[in-house]
Amino acid sequence: MSDILRLKLLIAYDGRPFRGWQSQATKDAVQDHVEAAFANTIGEKVSVQGSGRTDAGVHALAQIAHADVPTARLEVTAWQGALNNFLPPEIRVLRVTRAAPDFHARFSARGKIYTYRIWNSQYLHPLEIGRVWHMPSALDLDILRAGLVLLEGQHDFAGFAANRAPGYAAEDTVRTIQQITLSRRGELLTLRFEGNGFLYKMVRLLTGTLVRCAQGRAELTFIHELLAEKGARKTSFAAPAEGLYLTRVLY
């Protein structure tokens, strides 16, 4: 029997205090805090691999990560409590299970679901501060729904990806969005994006551009053009980070 056990972690976090998921030199990313919790628990460094990056300020309801730990240290059922003892209150491990040795939080994933929340009212409810995009102006929901249809399916989404430093940009910018749904409950609009993968800031740029059209400040032809030009031109209308949630990773 191997003396190394691979754990699968389900993690939720309020993204506001952190510089995203990915480890930073300043050690103030979510990944840094989870790795520090492992080190404090067993006294040695453990590498934690997430399903993907979330930007600074973006929340997660169900980030998935994996980590390899010595088998003899703790029972699987004890890891959740042990890690949460050392994590800030804005990060919680919701579940820990034994994973197959070849499971990889990122490379085993076949898709993700993101949710974007918009508070469409003149006044923002105080308990939604930092958790939604406050949009006081009127939105044409028919235009918004028409825009969702344009974005579904397989497209080159380079026009909806923020620029990255050399060496970090995605070489392949073709992605498939299986479904985008819009729901409304009172002042709250919720967009749900399900796709096989998303580029850097893609969901925020999609949402920002859709809202721009729904405000009457851009035509739906703008979306057509961005998809057709395959990155020759990019949208600059990015929705703020605080409305975005990593909702589920699909395996």
Q: So which residues are the catalytic ones?
A: 55
Q: Is the dihedral of CA 153, 157, 160, 162 positive or negative?
A: positive
Tell me the C-alpha distance between 163 and 156, whole Å.
Answer: 15
Tell me the C-alpha distance between 76 and 87, whole Å.
Answer: 18
**φ/ψ of residue 140, rounded to 5:** -85, 105
249 in Cβ contact with 51 (< 8 Å): yes
CA dist 2 → 35, 39, 43, 71, 96 (Å)? 22, 21, 20, 8, 19
13 in Cβ contact with 91 (< 8 Å): yes
CA dist 162 → 10, 66, 186, 206, 225 (Å)? 28, 27, 32, 11, 17
Q: SS3 of 219, please?
A: coil
Residue 138 half-sphere exposure toward CB, CA atoms < 13 A: 3
Tell me the C-alpha distance between 38 and 202, whole Å.
Answer: 31
Structure tokens at 6: 């691979």
